[in-house]
Structure 1
């Protein structure tokens, strides 16, 4: 497969990286993927961003380096305006899309991640297949070797203390309530207007890890043991309009846009 003009540096399991993949697919853009191991990834991202950023995703688009999932979404909209528009050009709808994208980026992104990691770790779940399943065999082995260090770093970085985890549970539920208000309880509606926007992509992708939707990076794996707290949260969210909305966005929008992703991912990993 010929190389694309774009390369995405990512963690396969990161919901911020899923958000960026979805934005790229929604714009109809081809891209290659380079999966990075947490920890050593900083050697790559710091080099790409000239020391300014140690996180993923990082997109290199025809020589232009863009870090942060929201900045990437806005870059794509500016750079490829003739492809399907994901942000209204002007007016109140544009303001709403940008405000909602920022709200879900913070509320769902930060708090879903902390809450989920805390309960995966508390339940002694084997997260290696989840984190490294898309890597070639040598890197899967390296990931397993580094896993204790990676988990220690996650505990410190995301502050997996009981008060912080409870704060995140409350915040992610508040975000679901906001989502339901915006769609007026109707899972068929988009957040703004009558078509997909970067606000929909942010909300659906960043809440995605809670739901294990088939075809998503978080789909259940054979033999996977789900910690009870996560299973209970999953069932509770799926029973409400917000959960059905996320499910619908994946089934109706993500699935349609993601054709060929698996082939790209495998090609990128050699």
Structure 2
């Protein structure tokens, strides 16, 4: 049987794209990465994923999906081993509810982080385009002023909204600690990794600058003071330790045939 071709259209630093990559890697599925330019990605995403204009988009043979949760559930149905959901029943329902909850918290992580990165003067171009080929890196750096204006408008990066997101993010850390009973070694549901763990860890990784994630501290991209302080505080909490442990223990390396383009 011919091997199915898979392509993940993405932004390298998007934590929703990281969530999709993680599921693909746990499943051991080879795939090709296509890094799209911000703004220009909308046309590609809408064409591939039935009108959606966001990333990630996974093309898996004849199937195209444009949402990280839909991608995760498709991969679980189509490639059930290793399982990332418990059998039907209360634990499965709980895993799906937690996945949805932390998916929502990811919106606030993104808003809070972008707000402080932009207002704090971090090198957004180097951060966003470091994994792109040289011509795209050059173009991306030229686009940074426009990208900043779009991000401010799209995500409402203003003090009241940033404070709202800070509160939501802290609520997310509190919820995570309740679910694990304060024990960073525990999984959210049952005794093994599930979609809920992948969602929570990938979407909170940028908050703690987790090693092994796309958001690990880089000497060439100093973080604004507020971001560094949040990371320090979160790392001292059981929730932050949990995220670090998930990356250390459960972030499966990418399949050998994975290639960036």
Listed one character per residue, the Cα deviations across residues 174-198 of structure 1 (whole Å, up to 9, x for unaligned) are 0000000000000000000000000
Q: Give the CA deviation at 1:259.
A: 4.1
- Asked whether the 8 Å contact 2:96–2:196 carries over to 1, the reply is yes
Q: 3-state SS of the aligned residue for 1:135?
A: coil
TM (norm. structure 1) is 0.93
- Asked whether the 8 Å contact 1:10–1:56 carries over to 2, the reply is yes
Unaligned runs of 5+ in 1: none
Count of residues in Structure 1 that have an aligned counterpart in Structure 2 = 259
TM (norm. structure 2) is 0.96
Q: 3-state SS of the aligned residue for 1:60?
A: strand
Q: Give the CA deviation at 1:222.
A: 2.4
Which position in structure 2 is the counterpart of 1:86?
84
Alignment of 1:1-270 (within 5 A): 5-50=5-50, 52-81=51-80, 83-107=81-105, 109-254=106-251, 257-260=252-255, 264=258, 267-269=259-261
Q: 3-state SS of the aligned residue for 1:7?
A: strand
Tell me, in whole angstroms, the C-alpha distance in 2 between the residues paired with 1:258 and 1:18: 12
Listed one character per residue, the Cα deviations across residues 122-160 of structure 1 (whole Å, up to 9, x for unaligned) are 111111111000000000011111111111111111011
Q: Give the CA deviation at 1:6.
A: 0.5
Listed one character per residue, the Cα deviations across residues 205-264 of structure 1 (whole Å, up to 9, x for unaligned) are 00001122222111122232221111110010000000000000000001xx12457x72
- Asked whether the 8 Å contact 1:211–1:238 carries over to 2, the reply is yes
CA-based RMSD of the aligned residues comes to 1.3
Unaligned runs of 5+ in 2: none
